[in-house]
Amino acid sequence: MVFRKLPGVSASGMGLRLSQKFVFLLFLSGLVTLCFGALFFLPDSVRLKRIFLSKTEIQPVTVGSGSENDVREHLKRPKEQGMTSAKGETGTKGKSLSRKPSVSHEATEERLAGGKAQEDLTLSRSKTESASERATSSDRGANSDTFSYQKFRGCLLKAPLGRDNGKPGDPQTNERREKVKEMMKFAWDNYKRYAWGKNELRPLTRNGHIGNMFGGLRGASIIDSLDTLYIMGLMEEYNDAKEWVQTNLDLNSNGEASLFEVNIRYVGGLLSAYYLTGEELFKNKAMELGEKLLPAFNTPTGIPRGVINLGSGTIWSWGWASAGSSILAEFGTLHLEFVHLTELSNNPVYTEKVMNIRKLLNKIEKPHGLYPNFLSPVSGNWVQHHVSIGGLGDSFYEYLIKSYLMSDKTDDDAKRMYYGALEAIEANLVQKSPGGLTYMAEWRGGILDHKMGHLACFSGGMIGIGADDGAPEKRQHYLDLAAEITHTCHESYTRSATKLGPEAFRFDGGAEATATRLSDRYYILRPEVIESYMYMWRLTHDPKYREWGWEAVEALEQHCRVESGFSGIRDVYTMTVSHDNMQQSFFLSETLKYLYLLFSDDDLLPLEDWVFNTEAHPLPIIRKSCLQDETTQDKTVSK
C-alpha cells in the first residue's frame, strides 16, 4: 500500500500541519509549566512537592499562626494574612561522633585540665569538625576553630561546680537537696521508660507527647535535662542523654516550630551542655540549629516572625497574634543564645540579628516608656497597647538585664533599656493591694487589669539580680521590691489548698492573690516562683526562701507526683486533685534545677560567672578582654 503525500500536511504520523504542531507544542509546554508551578502552592508536607522541588526552592505562601508563651500548642494558619517567605538554607553539619559518650564529672574535669585527657579532646575535636564542616562554616563567615574551650575555662572566676559540687554543710539542707535529686531521677527514669525520644512524658497514660512547638524536633525533655543531670551528678543518666543526642537528635526536620521555644530549650540547652562539659557534639548541634533559625529574620524590618518551618525556612506569625504581629517575649528572648552562637562560630550574623531588634525597639515611640506586647514585623510599629510582665512580655525584660550581665557589664545599651523599662513598669504597673501585697498589674492602653500571672513571678528574681547595677541610691529599693513581689507570689501558693500557685491570680472583686476564674486555677509544674526564691536566697541568704522552696517540694510530692512521673494539676484550690497528664520539659530544666540550686552552696554555678537563660540553662559571662588575651590559661585545676 502506498501513502500519498497530501499538500500542506506534514509527513508525521499524526498528520498535523506545521502551524498546528507549533500550537500544540505551545499548549503542551504551557501545561507542563502550569503543573510545575502548581507544586509551589501545595503544602510542604505533600510528597510530590518534596520529590520535584529541592528544599531550598520551596518557598510557599506564608500565613500567620501563633504561640503565646504558653498558648503555644495552637498552631493555626489564618487565611487573611499576607505572605512572607524566607528560604532556609539547611546546613550539612552535625554529623554523629564515633566516640562513646560515657563520662563522669571527674573525667570531664580531668579531660579539661590537660595531659592525656587533653589529647582525647583534641582527637574528638578533629573528628567532629570534618573538612566539609569547616568549609560549610567558613562559607557563611563562621569559623568555629577560633573558639578555645580551654581559654574560656581560664576566663571563669570560679570552678562551675564549686568545691564539692555545691554540697551544703548543713545536714538538713543537704537532705533536702538529695530529695530534689531523687525527684529529678524519678521524673527522668519515667520519661526514659515510657517516653524516650518524645518531647514530654504523659505520666498517667504512660506514653510520650510530641506536640507542635518544636517543628518535628524530638527529645525536648532530654535536651532540657542535660545540664540539670550534669550538675546533680546523675552521670549515668547524663551519659544516656548525651548518647541520644549523638545518635538520635535529628535536626533535619521539616515541621513548623516556635522560634522562641526552639531557641530557649534546644539552642539554650545545647549551649549550656557544651559550656559545662566541653563536648564538641553539643556545640556543633547548637550551631547547626542556630543556622536553621536565621530565615525567621527575613522580614522587612528584621523583626523575626514567631513560627518557622525548620526545613524550608518558611515563616509566619501566630494566628492569634493580631494583624500578623510578632510577640515581644518571643523576639525579645533571643539575645543571650544568639550572642553565644556568634561567640562559638565567630560568625557575626547572630549578634547582628539581635542587635537589629534592639535598634528598632530603641527607635520607636514607647507609650509612657512601656513596651507593648505586639509589634508588626512589616511596619515596625506596635500593633496594640497591651503591656504585661507575665506571658507575652516577660522574658524580654529578663533578657535586657541578663544581656548586660552576660556582657561582663559592658552592654550599656541593654542596661539603659532595662532600667528605663523598669522605671516605666514601676510608674504604671506596680500596685499595692488593700491587704498590702505588691503586685504587677497588666496594662491595656492605659486601663489596668489587676491580675498577675504565675509567669510574672520570675520578676522577683529579675529585679533582685539587677539591684546592684542601677543608680546606687536605688539598690535597696530594688531589693525591697524584689522581696515584695516574691512574697506576693509565695502568698499565691499559701492561699491555695494544695500550696501550689494558680496560673493567674487577681487583686480585684475582693480577691487578694487568688484566682477568681475557673480557667486560671491550674498549675502546670511551672518554675517562676521557685526561680525567684533561688535568686532571693543567693542575694539575701534569708532562710525563709529555703523554707518556701521546701514547702513547694512537699506540695509537688503530695499533689503532682503520680506513679509514673510528675503531672500538672487542674485546680490548685481542691485537695481532690485532677491531673493534666503532662510532665513538662521545663519541670526538669527549670523547676527542679532551681530547687536544687536553692539547697546548694552558692559556688554551684556562681552568679559571678553564669547567667541563666529563660529556660534555666546556664550560659557563661563573656569576658572579652580575657578571651582575647594571648596569655590566658585554663586554671580549672587550681579552682
CB of 274 to ligand DMJ, least distance (A): 20
**Cell digits of residue 441:** 498589674
In angstroms, the CA 404 to CA 233 distance is: 30
Q: Phi/psi of residue 4, each to 5°?
A: -100, 135
- Reduced to 3 states, what is the DSSP secondary structure of residue 180? helix
**Shortest CA distance to 377 belongs to which of 467, 454, 307?**
307
Instruction: Mark 16-55 with x for binding to ligand DMJ (rule: CB under 6 A) and - for no binding.
Output: ----------------------------------------
Shorter beta-carbon distance to ligand DMJ: residue 601 or 615: 615
Residue 546's alpha-carbon distances to 107, 174, 466, 601, in angstroms, are 32, 12, 21, 12
| DSSP symbol at 11 | S
- Lateral strand order in the sheet of 315-316: 256-258, 307-309, 315-316
Instruction: Tell me the β-bridge partners of 504.
Output: 453
Q: Phi/psi of residue 278, each to 5°?
A: 80, 10
Helix axes 475-494, 528-540, angle to 10 degrees: 140
Question: Residue 615, interface with ligand DMJ (CB under 6 A)?
Answer: yes
- Check if the beta carbon of residue 349 is closer than 8 Å to that of residue 141: yes
In angstroms, the CA 185 to CA 179 distance is: 10
Instruction: Mark 482-521 with x for binding to ligand DMJ (rule: CB under 6 A) and - for no binding.
Output: ----------------------------------------
Instruction: Mark 389-408 with x for binding to ligand DMJ (rule: CB under 6 A) and - for no binding.
Output: ------x-------------
Of 62, 67, 69, 228, the one binding ligand DMJ by CB under 6 A: 69
CB of 455 to ligand DMJ, least distance (A): 6
Shorter beta-carbon distance to ligand DMJ: residue 149 or 596: 596
| DSSP symbol at 466 | T
Number of residues that bind ligand DMJ (CB under 6 A): 9
Question: Residue 459, interface with ligand DMJ (CB under 6 A)?
Answer: no
Q: Phi/psi of residue 304, each to 5°?
A: -70, 150
Question: Residue 614, interface with ligand DMJ (CB under 6 A)?
Answer: yes
Shorter beta-carbon distance to ligand DMJ: residue 68 or 609: 68
CB of 591 to ligand DMJ, least distance (A): 8
Scan residues 530-589 and list those touching ligand DMJ (CB under 6 A): 586
Shorter beta-carbon distance to ligand DMJ: residue 49 or 526: 526
Ordered alpha helix ranges (H), 316-474: 328-331, 335-345, 349-363, 394-406, 412-428, 459-465
Of 155, 201, 226, 455, the one binding ligand DMJ by CB under 6 A: 455
Question: Residue 526, interface with ligand DMJ (CB under 6 A)?
Answer: yes
For the purposes of burial, counting CB atoms within 10 Å of the CB of 449, is it exposed (0-12), middle (13-18) or buried (19 or more)?
middle
**Shortest CA distance to 513 belongs to which of 612, 439, 599?**
439
Catalytic residue among 110, 280, 442, 503: 503
Q: Phi/psi of residue 436, each to 5°?
A: 90, 15
Instruction: Tell me the β-bridge partners of 307.
Output: 258, 316
**Shortest CA distance to 216 belongs to which of 128, 144, 283, 307?**
307
Shorter beta-carbon distance to ligand DMJ: residue 281 or 597: 597
CB of 503 to ligand DMJ, least distance (A): 10
In angstroms, the CA 58 to CA 382 distance is: 31
Shorter beta-carbon distance to ligand DMJ: residue 70 or 89: 70
Q: Give me the DSSP letters along 262-274.
A: IIIIIIHHHHHHH
Question: Residue 209, interface with ligand DMJ (CB under 6 A)?
Answer: no
**Cell digits of residue 319:** 494566628
> In this chain, which residue has its C-beta nearest to ligand DMJ?
614
Shorter beta-carbon distance to ligand DMJ: residue 397 or 545: 397
Instruction: Mark 586-605 with x for binding to ligand DMJ (rule: CB under 6 A) and - for no binding.
Output: x---x---------------
Residue 119 designated active-site: no
CB of 612 to ligand DMJ, least distance (A): 10
Residue 489's alpha-carbon distances to 143, 379, 455, 478, 500, in angstroms, are 45, 38, 10, 17, 10
Scan residues 336-395 and list those touching ligand DMJ (CB under 6 A): 395
Largest Cα separation within the chain, whole Å, is 112
CB of 382 to ligand DMJ, least distance (A): 21
Shorter beta-carbon distance to ligand DMJ: residue 490 or 526: 526
Shorter beta-carbon distance to ligand DMJ: residue 442 or 590: 590
CB of 594 to ligand DMJ, least distance (A): 10
CB of 551 to ligand DMJ, least distance (A): 19
CB of 393 to ligand DMJ, least distance (A): 11
In angstroms, the CA 327 to CA 14 distance is: 63
CB of 398 to ligand DMJ, least distance (A): 8
The enclosing H or E element of 187 equals: helix 171-195
**Shortest CA distance to 170 belongs to which of 553, 602, 534, 599?**
599
Shorter beta-carbon distance to ligand DMJ: residue 149 or 266: 266
**Cell digits of residue 477:** 529599693
Binding site for ligand DMJ (CB under 6 A): 69, 395, 455, 526-527, 586, 590, 614-615
Point out the residues that are catalytic.
Answer: 503
